[in-house]
Amino acid sequence: MAARKSKSTKSDRTELIEALEAIEKEKQISKDIILEAIENSLVAACKNQFESKADNIRVSINRDTGEIKVFADYEVVEDDLLEDPTTQIGKTEAALKYGNVEVGETVSTEVIPKNFGRIAAQKAKQVVVQKIREEERKVLYTQYLEKEREVITGIVQRYSGNNVCINLGKVDAILMESEQVPGEHFKPTEHIKLYVVEVKDTTKGPRITVSRTHPEFVKRLFEEEVTELQDGIVEIKSIAREAGSRTKIAVYTEDPNVDPVGACVGINGDRVNAIVDELRGEKIDIITWSDDPAVLIENALSPAKVISVTADEEEKTARVIVPENQLSLAIGKEGQNARLAAKLTGYKIDIKQE
């Protein structure tokens, strides 16, 4: 019986340390951080038990054995200046208890609060659970923060009103109605791509804002498909989008042997068609970027043919002349082509027929 009791006593003290070391390896949470939090929680518990608000209670946990001790610290003062016996001790009494002491020194006495073993076990469990949750939340936040402004694949869970609940792996996100392309409808368990607009840290874990309407979504899709964009040979200079209807992108390269538009279109249009399929039929115009505003505006109004462009770089305005039979094409349905060209170039465009 005695041997069993001795073994149990040892395990009471070392199991905590062994458990924290396992947590440290598995979850990358520092053992010292948790032990310090346990010490702080035990100090608060002891103060409640002693009905004291004094800051002289101190808890120490041995980092190797797990042994927990509680101390009360006292300042040594002259006997006739003793004012607060909860934090001070007279020189005469201190000399009797601790031997040779001087006024101003601090002496410590080990104290054993009532039911301390039960309190310590309870507090340790609470702190460990809380710290694990906090650290796991931090790890998740860090993981998804790295995906901010990138494309991520999610699984459709269900509709909540007009919003869509999406599972992103370890966390869920809500695709708000305002971030959905008009006319798109998703089925449960369907895999869809999303643009991560923002990741925020909250007490309930990372809150992730996702979108399928953001212009950068199209840009990231092209970067996934086009190796020349990944390698930096081709660059997307500007992008303008009306989600669900049409997107215009301007691409550029310094390599005279590379056709930037052709690279983005792909052989038989395979690259751009893969993106159009992901965007469920959205039209995409790919044009060549130019530092000459007149050339850029002419390209941006594609597929319409342009006779002349007069651009004012200071006012950021441009006057465009097109053949009579190209006017409606240049303006586009409900003005869309001209509107996207203006967004793409940053110029206010006035289109006139010849």
Mean pLDDT score, 58-78:
87
Architecture of domain 232-353 in this structure: 2-Layer Sandwich (3.30)
Domain boundaries, the chain: 2-133, 147-211, 232-353
Per-residue model confidence as pLDDT tens digits over 254-304: 999 999 999 999 999 999 999 999 999 999 999 999 999 999 999 999 999
| DSSP 8-state symbol, 324 | G
pLDDT for position 6: 38
Is 61:13 a contact under the CB 8 Å cutoff? no
Per-residue model confidence as pLDDT tens digits over 126-143: 877 887 888 888 888 999
Of 189, 187, 146, the C-alpha closest to 167 is 189
The number of helix segments (H) and strand segments (E) in the chain equals 11, 15
CA 303, 304, 308, 310 torsion-angle sign: negative
| DSSP 8-state symbol, 58 | E
Average pLDDT, the chain: 89
Pick the CATH number of 2-133 from 3.30.1480.10, 3.90.1150.10, 3.40.50.12280, 2.40.50.1020: 3.30.1480.10
Q: What are the structure tokens assigned to 11, written together?
A: 């395990």
pLDDT above 60 (res 13) = no
Residue 342: which residues within 8 A CB-CB, separation 6 or more? 348, 349
Mean pLDDT score, 317-342:
95
pTM: predicted TM-score of the whole model, two decimal places? 0.71
Per-residue model confidence as pLDDT tens digits over 16-55: 788 888 888 887 788 888 888 888 888 877 777 666 555 7
**Hey, is 241 helix, strand or coil?**
strand
pLDDT for position 9: 44
pLDDT for position 85: 84
pLDDT above 80 (res 113) = no
d(CA 93, CA 107): 11
* Residue keyed to tokens 């950021």: 316
Residue 290: which residues within 8 A CB-CB, separation 6 or more? 296, 299
d(CA 241, CA 213): 8
pLDDT for position 336: 96
Q: How many CB atoms lie within 10 A of CB 108?
A: 14
pLDDT above 70 (res 3) = no
Q: Do 147-211 and 2-133 have the same topology in CATH?
A: no
Per-residue model confidence as pLDDT tens digits over 278-288: 999 999 999 99
Q: How many CB atoms lie within 10 A of CB 198?
A: 12
Strand partners, 286: 249
Q: What are the structure tokens assigned to 221, written together?
A: 């899709």
d(CA 278, CA 274): 6
Proportion of the chain above pLDDT 70, given as a percent: 94
Pick the CATH number of 147-211 from 3.60.20.10, 2.40.50.140, 3.10.20.440, 3.20.20.70: 2.40.50.140
Proportion of the chain above pLDDT 90, given as a percent: 59
